[in-house]
Amino acid sequence: MPGLDVRPATPQDVPLLHAMICELADYEKLRHTVKATEGDLHRALFGPRPLCEAAVGRSEDSASGFALYFPTYSTFSGRASLYLEDLYVRPAARGRGLGRLLFHYVVEATIERGYGRVEWTALDWNEPAIRFYESLGAVQRPEWRLFRLDGEALERFRK
């Protein structure tokens, strides 16, 4: 797609990635939950044992989006997968194919590594994201519900 490209994130991209994560949190009305610092992100992406990977999408020579993902493992299939934690395109760059290109980047990484699938979640009210994912051929899995143990509940369980 002309004027669009995607590349692996570098350590120099961390401030940009952090800013876009905050933009995404604002959009999802979850900014109050963002605790991650640029240092946290740098360690997760580029520390001695990286926990995740990221790709930066550019539109017209401007960083306009990102995908952040990490491997998981399925005991049923016996294969690794990639979990797409975040896919974000800044509002000014939406509708030009950058989201599709970022998603394609993650799919290619999945296939090249011999992994079995890509999985992710979308907020139930985020109709534009749901329509976008469905346009790619993705299918919602209504029989699965996401559960989370964090914060005080995580500490209580520990005791």
Task: Report yes or no: 50 and 71 within 8 Å, Cβ to Cβ.
Answer: no
Q: What CA–CA distance (Å, rounded) separates 16 from 115? A: 29
Q: What CA–CA distance (Å, rounded) separates 81 from 110? A: 7
Instruction: Give the type of residue at 141.
Output: R
Residue 68 bridge partners (DSSP) = 54, 86
Percent helix, strand, coil in the chain, to 5, is 40, 25, 35
Q: Which member of 69, 105, 115, 133 is catalytic? A: 133
Backbone torsion region of residue 77, taken as left when φ is above 0, otherwise alpha when ψ lies between -120 and 50, otherwise beta: alpha
The two structure tokens encoding residue 95 = 């509708």
Task: Note if 105 is an active site residue.
Answer: no
Which residues are catalytically annotated? 133
